[in-house]
Structure 1
Amino acid sequence: MREQTLHRLMLIVLVALVPCAAHTQPRTPAELMEENRALRDELERTRSRVAALEAEVDRLLAERRGLEGTLARAESLISSIRRSVGTTDRPPAPQKFAQVPDDPLASPASLMRELQSRYHVEMLGIPRNTEAEREDFIRRVQLWCRLTNENLRGKRTWLVTLDDLAPMGKDAYVVRMELQDAESSLPIGEPFDVQFPKRFMDQYERGTKSGKWEVTSIVIAKPVFNKDRLSRGVFEYPTMIGPMVEFDFELKWEGLRAWTPEPEEDAEEEAQPKADEEESASNEPNT
């Protein structure tokens, strides 16, 4: 009886060990290839989700810009109506702006001016009266947008203020950016909303004593084709480059640094000659 019981226990242990032994056997090349394919598929799905999130952020940014642009123009229209009906409200003084730099990548205003100039030279002479001419014009405009996006880009450092940082979706932020002229501290063009990379969040939260930042990024022209946009419209938003093309751009951030003004050395340099003159006068002999 004891021997039978012992045999049964040994049989149970062997049955339990068989799956474990099978499990520890090395996987076949086919199994490894299948696992690699599964990992590649998962990586591709992750990339697709990231691309979809980035597209959603761009869409929300454009929607926010549109709403803000519409609101600003509506407020301007209300002010104009109030003045026309004889209200005594004094209109605010017009804001002063710095001169727009010649470098097309030095500011959004510079880029907008460059794109309008190029469009005027390359596209406005193309006829679009007949259906065939219109189709040809559409193809040319689409090609112009693509080539401009590929060719008009470069690395620049902008002096800016950053305000109203807000989350937009998961791990995405948007911030209001205004370019500043270093000498006059006047803004270069209107402020605008841009995507803010999460990796710079800690640095942004540490702040800047001057209230200004230096943003280094790849500035990319991104004209948008819209075959239904043939005129500027009442509020003109998004800003129109030309028929069927709207203005946009992209920043690929590479660096963020708190801006510190350079020390003023002119005052010290001016004071030094004066001190030298006083010392020279004191050494002259009395007559």
Structure 2
Amino acid sequence: MPELPEVENVRRSLEALVVGKVIQSVQVRLPRIIRQPEDPRLFEVMLAGQTIDSIGRRGKYLIFSMPPLTMISHLRMEGQYRLADQGDPEVPHTHVIFQFTDGTELRYRDVRQFGTMDLAFNPSEFPAGLKSLGPEPFDDALDGRELYRRLHSHKAPIKAVLLQQTCIAGLGNIYVDEALFLSGIHPERSASQLTKRQCDKLLIDIRDVLTRAILTGGSSIKTYVNGYGRHGGFQMALNVYGREGQACNHCGQEIVKLRVAGRGTHVCLHCQPKPRTRRSVQTTATKRVTNQATTATKTAAPGQIGGNLE
């Protein structure tokens, strides 16, 4: 699924390609892509004659501003936008076409058919998933202290919490794995166990990996391309994601793949030590007490073993 860096690159390419264009007509070939309005034919009618004023992004959502309308698009697994000339051959799985008055058209392709589009007149009509998003990773109001506050009440694994989108918007499987590796945090560690210092570093590492991914066009792990049809290049710089069985770039130990929050998760167990379970902590404490008792027994004076017998 495209994550923040990929969606941001799609946004930037579409901003250069279609902002200012006037929609002549719209063809919806797969009605279930359109969630709002319920009738896809109304979607087509409402957009005819609209001018694309700007394209924004919130988390993994693309936001097409066409005052007084806003179109919210979520690419989900494999959604893609491509600009073409009218009459150019179409690729399979093209489900929505926005025809412009200048003879070009924006084509939405989605092999998995999970993507969605919503039309809204005001923010109160935005999809629930968009309205519930946490702050953007680069939000000035988000610092280590705020991240700690957001994480501290969650006992779930840190990876599961970061994937929820309500803590921080835009993170997905790839960049959560990468950020946790840079921070030396095992993905199964409870979010509530992170210290303030760890939250400071985690936010720095989240921003670092996202910045580098955006600058290199995102990660083309499967089918991702931007609005120009270009692949990203950050997959060449990944430390752990998709590198199961390979040597860690930092310590040389083998990268392993786990299952956390129902997602394939890549980790270096040397750089990201596995958190102790409650049972292991109790076992360690028991061993420590036993060792202390043994030492006391060996050093006790004659007649003191077992206590005072007088």
Please indicate the TM-score interval, normalised by the length of the shorter structure.
Answer: under 0.3
Give TM-score, length-normalised by structure 1.
0.21
Q: Whose helix proportion is higher, 1 or 2?
A: 1
TM-score by length of 2: 0.20
